[in-house]
Each structure stands twice: as structure tokens, then as C-alpha cells.
Homo-oligomer: A and B are copies of this chain.
Amino acid sequence: MPENESIDEYVETKIARLGDLKVEGSDEVIPLEIAYETYGTLNNEKSNVILICHALSGDAHAAGLHKLQNPTQDKKLNSVKGWWYSYIGKGKAFNTDKYFIICSNVIGGCMGSTGPKTKNPKTGKPYQSSFPFITIKDMVNAQKRLIDSLGISKLFCIAGGSMGGMQVLQWAVAFPEFSEKCIVLASTSEHSAQQIAFNEVGRQAIISDPNWNNGEYGENVPRTGLALARMYAHITYVSEAFLKERFGRKLATKNILNTDFDVGSYLLDKGESFVDRFDANSYIYVTHALDHFSLGTGSSLTKNLKDVKSEFLVIAYSTDWLYPPYQSREIVKSLQVNMVPVTFCEINSDRGHDSFLIENEKQTDVIKHFLGSKYVR
């Protein structure tokens, strides 16, 4: 067993089959299945539940270890860590000695929950592009069904970064009494024209792939378009400083038939590995959900947040140019106008948008303090 890996950290993704779900964009229901994982122990009062919401390409495997069926010799790995492994666990920011933590995969995605790859019960074939339009609201309604099915009537906290942060906001608006605390990291109350533009070019790369076939591509996936979308998006996830430090102007030593520069080779690898794990239709559906999500800004955001009851922690990152700190401050301001208790923290980090996944040392204490303290109105 490799160092730092303990047998009690092994987890498995479970699937909850929850009947049908009505979504905003369709009159027809879809079969609701949700992939989820849990960490820690539910207390008797069921009062220690934290729900974790993932970002665009995330999944239910937020913490612990997945045992690999075929351990990769070259990487000396026999397990895969959850995407927020360093945040969730014994003694970590989200401490599994104290909290019962749930992370579920969003609907519309491709990591176990209902999405375009799910079989349409009417046809017996995968929905693909006949899957209905999905919104952040639909994602949250589906999560709510999961929480209800687990017999949990109140959450202690909901936390998420990027698209996860939008889900947190949607929870706070749609179910104001449901969660005591909310944590929004590196997120926004709505996409700006520039953020829509970034996603738009990614979608155009996919739909102009010759394999696209209006989304009915079956096994013949539009790899090239999806890889391009990811390469392009990846630049927005990292900072200029990170790219400079890691790659600078170094020439490529691999992928040299396709690129001159090391940073190009890095992006090619990012595109390739993404295509192996993500579905092109899901990319279209989930980015649409992101772009169409809108709680407004300024006075309209304030109005939309007027019934919020949860206490908030909002964290932004200095070099995040995909979800710049000013968008977090918009949320904070509207919460303050509504007299909602809110702590705002802008963390100095040179890792860009991905800081929320990485900078655990800088924010563990902030999160611990927020979870451990009680605001008295």
C-alpha cells in the first residue's frame, strides 16, 4: 500500500434510483438516478450533514480512494483520490470525524447520474441529444430528491466551487430553510457575456466536429471537438503566472509532431485525457446550464436573495480570471443588503480558477472556522 493511503479510506460510488423527475425544459419526465458517495458517519440527530456540489467536469468521487481494478504500474497507483481529497477527511477542512458528507453527481452529466447517456425508457436507447434541456435548478431539485430519500430533513452545510457554487446559491434560494450554512467558492450569480463566449467556442468546437451528427454519435464520439473545447477551457482554469512558471517558453519534448511548445503539449494531453472520461453531449448540456443560470447582479440579485436564511462563506481567488473576485463581491454585497450573515475571503493565489481545488492550506482554517462557529442573530 503506498504511503499516506489507509484501508479505511476506500469508498465506492452508490447509485440511488429515485423514480421520475420533471425538469424545467420538458413536459416529459426522465428517470432519476443519482450517483453519490458519503464520507463520515451520520449522527443520531441527522444534524451533521454537509452536501458537496461539484464543478463542470467533476463527479461524485469527492473524497477517499477508489480502488483501481487494474492498478497502473507506471504511475505506482492502486487507487484514485477524490477530487477534493485534501479538503474532505479526518481532521481536514470538512472533517469526517464530525460531519457526514455527501457528494452527488449532477444530472445532465456523464458520471453515473441521469444524463444524455442514460437509456430513454420509451425507446430503450440512450437519450443522447434528445435528453431534455437541464438547468442548475433541475440539478438542485434532483439533489434534493436524493437528500430526501436518505431521510435527511436538514443540512448543516452546502459547499461548492465554480458550478458547484451556483448550485449552492440555487439551494439557498429555492430551499431557504434547508441548510444552516452555505459555502460558495470561485463562483458567480450569473455568467457574463465573456463567460458565455468562452463556453460558446467550446460548444462550437464540438458541434462542428464531423462526428457530431447532431449529438446522435453513438460510439463514434466527436473526440477532436471535445478535446479542443477542453484545451481551450483549461487555459481559463489556470493563471498566466502558473503557465509561466511551469512552462514558460520551453519547447515541446513530446507531441512534437503537433506542437512546438511545451505548453501546447500540456494542453494536448489535457484534451486527450478529458475525452477519455467525459461525454460530448454532457459537455453541451452542462455548459448550457451554466450559461443560462441567472440570479442577476446588483439590485436584481439582491431581490433574488431576499429569502435566504443560511449563513454564508464566499471565497474568491486573486488570479481567478474565469470567475473574477468582483463577481464574488457582487454576491456578498447582495447578501449584506439582505442582512444575511456573510464572511468574504479573497485568497491570494497564483493558481487561477483552479485555486479552489488546490489551495487547501490557505483555506482549510477559513472553512473550519466557518463550520465551527455559530452566528447569533
Please give the residue numbers on chain A whose beta carbons come within 8 Å of chain B beta carbons, in ascending order: 190-194, 196-198, 200-201, 203-205, 207-208, 210, 224, 227-228, 231-232, 235, 240, 243-244, 246-249, 258-261, 263-264, 267-268, 271, 288, 291-292, 294, 321
Contact = CB atoms under 8 A, between A and B. Distances in A.
B204 A248 contact: no
A190 B243 contact: no
Contact of A193 (B198, B200, B203, B244): B244
Given A192-B240, A196-B261, A197-B264, 20 more contacts: A191-B249, A193-B240, A193-B248, A194-B243, A194-B244, A196-B249, A197-B267, A200-B264, A200-B267, A201-B231, A201-B235, A204-B231, A204-B267, A205-B228, A208-B228, A210-B210, A232-B232, A249-B294, A260-B292, A321-B321
Contacts of A205: 205, 228
Contacts of A246: 193
Given A228-B228, A260-B292, A291-B260, A243 B204 contact: no
19 contacts: A190-B249, A192-B249, A193-B240, A193-B243, A193-B248, A193-B249, A194-B240, A196-B249, A197-B263, A204-B231, A204-B264, A204-B267, A204-B271, A207-B258, A208-B224, A228-B228, A232-B232, A260-B291, A260-B292
A215 to B, nearest CB: 13
A145 B123 CA distance: 70
A228 B224 CA distance: 13
Contacts of A200: 231, 259, 261, 263-264, 267
The listed residue with most B CB atoms (<10 A of its CB), out of A198, A207, A264, A271, is A264
Contact of A235 (B198, B288, B291): B198
Contacts of A263: 193, 196-197, 200
Contacts of A243: 192-194, 197
Contacts of A192: 240, 243-244, 249
Nearest to A192: B244
B294 A235 contact: no
Nearest to A326: B240
Contacts of A294: 249
The listed residue with most B CB atoms (<10 A of its CB), out of A231, A249, A267, A292, is A249
A22 to B, nearest CB: 22
Q: A-B pairs with the 3 shortest C-beta distances?
A: A193-B243, A200-B264, A194-B240
A291 B244 contact: no
Contacts of A249: 190-193, 196, 294
Nearest to A243: B193
The listed residue with most B CB atoms (<10 A of its CB), out of A198, A200, A227, is A200
Nearest to A200: B264
